[in-house]
Amino acid sequence: MADAPKSAAPATKAPPAWRQRRYLFWLIPLLLLPLPFYLGQYKQYVVNLILVYVPVGVGFNIVVGNLGLLAFSNVAFFGIGAYTSGVLALKLGWPWWATILPAGLMGGLVGCIAGVPALRGVRLFYLAIMTLAFGELLRWVYIRWVPVTGGSFGMSVPKASINVFGWPLPTEGDKFYAFLFLAVLMVVLTDRLLRSRFGRAFMAIKGNEQAAAAMGIPTDRYILLAFAWGGFVVGVGGSMYAALVGHVTPIAFDLAELILEFAVVMVGGLGSLVGSVLGAAIITAAPEFFREWPGFQEMLFGVLIVLVILFLPRGVASLLARVHPIFIDRYYRD
Amino acid sequence: MQLSKTFYALAAVAALASPALAADNMQGITATTIKIGNLGPFSGDAAVFNPLNFGPEAYLRYINDKGGIHGRKFETVFADSACNEAKGIAAAKKLIYEDKVFMIMGNPCSGVAMAIKPMLEQEGIPWMGPAANPKLTRPTSPAMFHTTYTGIESGEAMAGFALSNPAIKKIAIVEHSNDWAHGYCNPASDFIKKNGGEVLTRIAMERGSTDGTTQALQVKTLGAQAVLGCLYQPELIILLRDLQKFGVAATVVGALGADFDQTVQQVNSPAAVRDKFFQPYQFKAKIGTPALKEFEDMFVKYLKKDELPKAGPPTNFYYFGVPVGIVTVEGFRRAGPSPSREKWIAAIESIKDFDTGVLADTVTFSKDKHVGVSRMYAVGLDKDGKQTVYTAWGKPLPE
């Protein structure tokens, strides 16, 4: 009896979309490398500002998008990262590159503290208000702890301290490479985390916390991890902000800043890593496009956010996902 | 040959990678124009301060109408800082590197001014503006000038006016928790302590507050005879209303973050403000009087409809902004027909006892002193509700 014909396996199987996307992670920053040769100081500054908001959006999205908790302590992580870098550089004379990790760790520590109410079962608007209050409390500390933070006048980060292993970063173009490296590192590390069992646990908690707990997932531990990692990533963003702006003041971490950061997540795409990057680019660059019409700038900006939320509730990333599957965030293997 | 190719390749890479050269000292100057950057909050909550940008702009247009300075007319490029440091730096970079302005004027937001200060110093770009933070010009920064009062002069004027009433010794401070408010109230507090007064308390009232009950009741409980309000206009109005509501009789001296006329109008209660609410006053005469009429006419003639108040005549901030334009132009006049940054700075530093025609004080700069003015008066409504300028408590400025 002749063997039944075996189905012919394709000679070359295209890699699945999630694997293609990994190549893209490296392709995009590589394509960006020559930018400083083409951009002037102003446009390069705007690009650098986008890179600052990439980790800010990524970190915020972990808690709000991936974990699904209505927590608004992001601006606290951002501020503590900026202040940690500022204080270490100004008071202790550390070079900026050496302050990045402490800024991230302080962000992570503050993330753990901000996550405590969530461990106590506080959810929804109650958690939102508590985390908002936490951000304001930290702002109060920045204002009142004058000997360390410089109070309401803030502190200027010494220009000489902004270097990487002694290599100074005097121009926006120089800063760009350091910022690009940090932004890519934060995205890649977060991507790895989200694709691991930790990330899948976040998704399970977001889907149904009780069911996740019933399945043996230690939800408390994962919630704390999400807050801590989110805080770390945003803290690194804060350190980048301190190096870019060079002046850290409490008013930079107020409610308006929180709204801006929330807009990064909402416009980019809730729970989407691609969305966090896109959101950072759109929210940071859009006002610059409207700069010539300052009266209309706020209105157009508001309309943009409303339109995206109305017609693209999963953010601009969902629009790209329709174009090509590599833009779909998938946290499981095919 | 191979070495030569390598050398040129390396040289090309080095040239591309080298930091941008500092702006040249004639940037923004052509045979017929002088390009000025006008940086300010044209969007966001702080847009209420943008008359401080339009005041000097009106003067530049007036000068242009008269034929300009040494054959050159002023060309202004506006840039919105939104009173946010990150956006302000972007705006200033656009002005310096893309629009290639000669100098930046305006910029009432202290945080933004401090954030752009290192860039201005690095590029040698002159700055003249009304931002109140004294750290901008103390210690002296080579190209930065205050031709309006900083927080130190204004704060001391607030405290000085309150203490000029012999019956006032116990003073409460109500302030925002930001650099602007502390820029006024810290020097005010020091002045009170040094001059025999007592600071009973410093109470925070945050931006966006819609109720001043807590602050009013604390002032009442402590028995303060005067309140210094380092508050922006909306919160100052709320405080004045609530002090009246709870029957607090204390004198209130506001900071320069509020427009006097608008504040009085919006409090909409004569009893809350008559002979009770005062502000430091920067001008040589009362707004609306013949001494300042030429400026009102200038604002109305040279500003566009959307640059003027929606209703009523130009307010205090227009007049407060205009010396920035007047002194900037005077610098160009003195710098001669071939101005450069160095010549303009030297010209400004040569100004002595210069009467702007609008400020209470004359302007004097030197190489070591880049804050041009110090003397201030106070403004308030007398018992009959007539707006009066005082040199001290109970001493009206002769009209």
Q: H-type helices in B20-177, by residue range?
A: 51-65, 85-93, 110-123, 151-163
- Whether B259 shows a pLDDT value over 60: the answer reads yes
CA distance B146 to B132: 9
Rounded distance, CA A231 to CA A105, Å? 8
Average pLDDT value for residue range B295-311: 94
CB contact (8 A) between residue B133 and residue A153: yes
Number of Cβ within 10 Å of residue B139's Cβ equals 7
Residue B138, chain A, CB below 8 Å: the answer is no
Residues in contact with A290: Cβ distance below 8 Å, sequence separation at least 6, in sequence order: A296, A297, A300, A301
Mutate to test the interface with A, among B39, B53, B84, B173 (most CBs of A within 10 A): B84
| 3-state secondary structure at position B198 | strand
- List CB contacts (< 8 A) between A45 and chain B: 89-90, 93
Same fold, B33-149+291-349 and B152-281+379-396: yes
At A333, the pLDDT band (50, 70, 90 cuts) reads: low
**CB-based contact A294 B42, cutoff 8 Å:** yes
Biggest CA pair distance of chain B: 92
Within 13 Å, how many C-alpha atoms sit on residue B169's CB side?
Answer: 3
Beta bridge partners of B80: B40
| C-beta of residue B144 within 8 angstroms of C-beta of residue B124 | no
SS (H, E, C) A3-35: CCCCCCCCCCCCCCHHHHHHHHHHHHHHHHCCH
- Eight-class DSSP state of B283: B
The amino acid that residue B194 corresponds to is K
| Amino acid present at B326 | I
Contacts of B111 in chain A (CB under 8 A): 154, 247, 249, 251-252
Q: Enumerate the residues of chain A whose CB falls inside 8 A of the CB of residue B87.
A: 287
Number of H helices, E strands in chain B: 13, 13
pLDDT reading at B44 higher than 90: no
Exposure string for A123-134, b = 16+ CB within 10 A, e = fewer: eeeebbebbbeb
Using an 8 Å Cβ cutoff, are A152 and B181 in contact?
yes
Give the span between the Cα atoms of A89 and B398, in whole angstroms. 54
pLDDT at residue B11 is higher than 70: no
What is the number of other CB atoms lying within 10 angstroms of the CB of residue B271? Answer: 9
Distance from the Cα of B285 to chain A's closest Cα (Å) equals 33
Report whether pLDDT(B45) > 90.
no
Lowest mean pLDDT among B80-84, B166-170, B238-242: B80-84
| Integer CA distances (angstroms), B183 to B83, B111, B155, B180, B256, in order | 16, 11, 8, 5, 11
CB B172 within 8 A of CB B201: yes
Residues of A in contact with B44 (CB under 8 A): 256, 298
Contacts with A, B 8-37, CB within 8 Å:
16-17, 19-20
Q: Is A16 helix (H, G, I), strand (E, B) or coil?
A: coil
What is the mean pLDDT of the segment spanning B56-79? 97
Nearest chain B CA: its distance from A161 CA (Å): 14
Question: Distance (Å, rounded) from C-alpha B195 to C-alpha B197?
Answer: 6
CATH homologous superfamily for B33-149+291-349?
Answer: Response regulator (3.40.50.2300)
Q: Which of A36, A247, A255 sits opposite B85 (nearest CB)?
A: A247
Which amino acid belongs to residue B240? L
pLDDT attached to residue B15: 43
Give the mean pLDDT of A44-50: 97
Contact A152 B91 (CB under 8 A): no
The beta-carbon neighbor of B93 closest among A42, A139, A154 is A42
pLDDT of residue B360: 94
Burial class, A29, CB count within 10 angstroms (exposed 0-12 / middle 13-18 / buried 19+)? middle
Of A291, A301, A289, A175, the closest CA to residue A239 belongs to: A175
> What are the chain B neighbours of A159 within 8 Å (beta carbons)?
118
Domain boundaries, chain A: 37-254
pLDDT of residue A4: 46
Query: Residue A13: its pLDDT value, please?
Result: 62
pLDDT at B9 over 60: no
Q: CA nearest A140 in B: which residue?
A: B177
User: Would you call A153 and B135 a contact, using CB atoms and an 8 Å cutoff?
Assistant: yes
- The token duo for B23 is 């702006």
Is the pLDDT at B21 greater than 70? The verdict is no
In order of A187, B20, B38, B116, the CA distances from B124 in angstroms are: 38, 14, 17, 12
Name the residue among B17, B93, B111 with its Cβ closest to that of A45: B93
Rounded distance, CA B229 to CA B185, Å?
8
In terms of Cα–Cα distance, which of B330, B296, B265, B363 is closest to B51? B296
**Distance separating alpha carbons of residues B127 and B96, to the nearest angstrom:** 12
In angstroms, the separation between the Cα of residue B61 and the nearest Cα of chain A is 20
Boundaries of every domain in chain B: 33-149+291-349, 152-281+379-396
Please give the pLDDT value at position B177: 81
In angstroms, rounded to a whole number, what is the distance separating the alpha carbons of residues A109 and A115? 10
Q: Tell me the per-residue pLDDT of A269-307, one tens digit each, with 9 for 90 and over.
A: 998 999 999 999 999 998 888 887 776 667 777 787 888
Residue A92 has a CB neighbour count (10 Å cut-off) of: 10
- In terms of CA atoms, which chain B residue is nearest residue A292? B79
Instruction: Give the span between the Cα atoms of B233 and B239, in whole angstroms.
Output: 10
How many Å apart are CA B43 and CA B39, to the nearest integer?
12
pLDDT at B14 exceeding the cut of 50: no
A255-259, B8-12, B63-67, B276-280: range with lowest mean pLDDT: B8-12
Residue B397: helix, strand or coil by DSSP?
coil
- Mean pLDDT computed over every residue of chain B: 91
The Cα A149–Cα A251 span in angstroms is 13
Q: How many angstroms separate the CA atoms of A84 and B163, rounded?
A: 41
Q: What is the pLDDT of residues A80-102, one digit of tens each?
A: 999 999 999 999 999 999 999 99
Dist CA A217 CA A211 (whole Å)? 9
Residues in A closer than 8 angstroms to B85, CB to CB, are 245, 247, 249, 252
Distances (CA, A) of B178 to A139, B181, B234, B253: 10, 6, 15, 18
Q: How far apart are CA A137 and CA A153, in angstroms?
A: 17
Whether the CB of B195 is below 8 Å from some CB of chain A: the reply is no
Residue type, B139: P
pLDDT category of residue B19 using cuts at 50, 70 and 90: very low
- pLDDT tens digit string along B199-219? 999 999 988 889 999 999 999
A250 within 8 A of A152, measured Cβ to Cβ? yes
Q: Give this complex's ipTM.
A: 0.85
Picking from B258, B261, B223, the residue whose alpha carbon sits closest to that of residue B238 is: B258
What is residue B63's three-state secondary structure?
A: helix
| Residue to substitute from B27, B112, B114, B121, interface A, most A β-carbons within 10 A | B114
| Structure token pair of residue B212 | 């001043």
Taking each helix axis as running N to C, give the angle between helix B110-123 and helix B179-194, from 0 to 180 degrees, rounded to the nearest 10.
100
CATH number of the structural domain B152-281+379-396: 3.40.50.2300
Question: Before A15, cis peptide (omega within 30)?
Answer: no
Radius of gyration of chain B (CA): 23
Q: Is B111 on the interface with A (CB under 8 A)?
A: yes
Between A and B, how many residue pairs show a Cβ–Cβ distance under 8 A? 99
Q: Please report the pLDDT score of residue A18 as a whole number.
A: 59
Instruction: Judge residue B215's burial from the number of C-beta atoms within 10 Å of its C-beta, 0-12 exposed, 13-18 middle, 19 or more buried.
Output: buried
